[in-house]
Amino acid sequence: MTETDRLKGLADRLLLEGTLPPEDLRSLLLHHDGQGADYLHGLARQTARKHFGNRIFIRGLVEIGNCCHNDCLYCGIRRSNRHVERYRLDRQTILECCRTGYEMGFRTFVLQGGEDPWMDDERTATLVSCLRQAFPDAAITLSLGEKTVEAYRRFFEAGANRYLLRHETHNPAHYALLHPASMSLDHRLHCLEELKRIGYQTGTGIMVGSPGQTADHLVEDIRFIHDFRPHMIGIGPFIPHHDTPFAHEPAGSVELTLRLISIFRLMHPAALIPATTALASLSPDGRERGILAGANVVMPNLSPLHSRAKYALYDNKASLGAEAAEGLALLDRRLAAIGYRIDKGRGDYDNNRRAGCHTSEDTTGIEAHDLKTDILCIK
Ligand code: 5AD
């Protein structure tokens, strides 16, 4: 059997069985066989199309503030970074951003921000209630870090539906390398369990190529995500920020990120998997390549233009063009070029999709797997 055939067989088995032994996951991650990778991406793409048709869900991202009491070593808005111009959007501004997005057709708003003690549970719950009242038919996603269980419950009762909290790495030693001693993997995992128990559609994920990450760590992450079964899986490459201790570390690999997206799509056919901003920031066609590897969500930026540059988690973070809410027409054109269309629905996680398949395929669109993927150089 050739190496390519072996990798193809592993991708088929992953789809069929939902997981693989660690050494086979390692092979899928590490073997740089062009044809094997093309096959993996093609199978993941077909799996996504079977469940979601050629539709890509959009989420309007509002970066509500960059004040953060944490000191994660990779992050540009970490507490120790004295060069950040700190900001907080007030409630009215956040509502206006969402109003603008609503009028464009967004039906999911993602509120993301640093862990800001000023933004306490009371203020956050009030913000969520206001948004819930203003946009009864929209989904509200929070991405505000670690909170108490009571706080998570309170935000849920106020109307939040989804929560994003990447675990970043499932390996305790690696977690300790990326985070200050005040943070712990156990606590993060506890938060994730509680979020799910409360009833949130829960998202987790990792940075690919973060300093110190090994293939074995990635295998641990895959196995954790297999067991945890998140509704949303965020996978983006690590990108250094010049004012962090990791300023001189290399960025993660686009190809490895794409392989992980495909692996997660095969393991979780119904999961909501974004083609992340980090992927689009690192490679000009990263968004398209993510979609052609099995992603089905994009998150254009709805934040006020003047605050976008201040929410710099990493250098050269994209927030304009097709990564911007005001660039929706451009995004639509770029998606059309690879045979996809924007879906303006809420795009909730659908348990039924796990078994069945979606039928709203737009037959006038181009079949993505008929496209010459070499144009986009999926490797
Ligand atoms: N490179 C890529 N992603 C990053 N994040 C934070 N800093 C970086 C970076 N330097 C990601 C983390 C976090 C999410 C909000 O942004 O995974 O969970």
Average pLDDT per run of 10 along the chain, which is 379 residues long?
Answer: 93 97 96 90 98 98 98 98 98 98 98 98 98 98 98 98 98 98 98 98 98 98 98 98 98 98 98 98 97 98 96 95 90 97 96 53 40 33
Q: Tell me how far the alpha carbon of residue 2 lies from the centroid of ligand 1, in angstroms.
A: 38
**In this predicted structure, what is the pLDDT of residue 31?**
85
Residue 65 DSSP label: E
- Measuring from each residue's beta carbon to the nearest atom of ligand 1, which residues come in under 6 Å? 74-75, 166, 168, 207, 236, 238-239, 241, 278, 313-314
Choose which residue among 75, 169, 191, 208 to substitute to test ligand 1 binding: the one with the highest number of ligand atoms within 8 A of its C-beta.
75
| Residue from 6, 63, 68 nearest 37 by CA | 6
**In this predicted structure, what is the pLDDT of residue 377?**
30
Q: Tell me how far the alpha carbon of residue 207 lies from the centroid of ligand 1, in angstroms.
A: 7
Instruction: Return d(Cα 136, Cα 115) in angstroms, integer.
Output: 26
Instruction: Return d(Cα 185, Cα 106) in angstroms, integer.
Output: 34
Residue 38 burial (CB < 10 Å; 0-12/13-18/19+)?
Answer: middle
**In this predicted structure, what is the pLDDT of residue 369?**
38
pTM: 0.94
Residue 155 CB neighbour total at 10 angstroms: 26
Residue 112 CA: which ligand 1 atom is closest? 15
Q: Tell me how far the alpha carbon of residue 351 lies from the centroid of ligand 1, in angstroms.
A: 28
Cβ(57)–Cβ(163) below 8 Å: no
Instruction: Return d(Cα 119, Cα 67) in angstroms, integer.
Output: 9
**In this predicted structure, what is the pLDDT of residue 351?**
73
Q: Tell me how far the alpha carbon of residue 74 lies from the centroid of ligand 1, in angstroms.
A: 7
Q: Tell me how far the alpha carbon of residue 237 lies from the centroid of ligand 1, in angstroms.
A: 8
> Dmax over Cα atoms in the chain, in whole Å?
62
Q: Tell me how far the alpha carbon of residue 323 lies from the centroid of ligand 1, in angstroms.
A: 16
Q: Strands of 60-65's sheet, edge to edge?
A: 60-65, 108-113, 139-143, 162-164, 201-208, 232-237
3 state DSSP class of 270: coil
Per DSSP, what are the bridge partners of residue 88?
Answer: 65
Give the chain's domains with CATH numbers: 32-348 (3.20.20.70)
Residue 314 CA: which ligand 1 atom is closest? 10
Residue 234 CA: which ligand 1 atom is closest? 17
For 326-340, b where at least 16 C-beta lie within 10 A, e where not — what string?
A: ebbeebbebbeebbb
Residue 206 CA: which ligand 1 atom is closest? 17
**DSSP structure string for 22-34:** HHHHHHHHH---H
Ligand 1 atom 3: residue of nearest CA: 238
**DSSP structure string for 193-242:** HHHHHHT-EEEEEEEET-TT--HHHHHHHHHHHHHH--SEEEEEE----T
Extract the tokens encoding 226: 């297999």
Per DSSP, what are the bridge partners of residue 272?
Answer: 232
The helix or strand, by DSSP H or E, that contains position 337, with its residue range, turns out to be helix 328-337
Residue 241 CA: which ligand 1 atom is closest? 10
Choose which residue among 78, 313, 315, 319 to substitute to test ligand 1 binding: the one with the highest number of ligand atoms within 8 A of its C-beta.
313
**In this predicted structure, what is the pLDDT of residue 33?**
82
The helix or strand, by DSSP H or E, that contains position 63, with its residue range, turns out to be strand 60-65
Q: Strands of 297-298's sheet, edge to edge?
A: 297-298, 55-58, 341-343
Ligand 1 atom 7: residue of nearest CA: 75
The helix or strand, by DSSP H or E, that contains position 37, with its residue range, turns out to be helix 34-52
Residue 168 CA: which ligand 1 atom is closest? 17
Which sign does the torsion angle of CA 312, 314, 315, 316 carry? Answer: negative
- 164 backbone dihedrals φ, ψ, rounded to 5°: -105, 125
Residue 239 CA: which ligand 1 atom is closest? 1
Choose which residue among 74, 146, 202 to substitute to test ligand 1 binding: the one with the highest number of ligand atoms within 8 A of its C-beta.
74
Q: Tell me how far the alpha carbon of residue 198 lies from the centroid of ligand 1, in angstroms.
A: 25
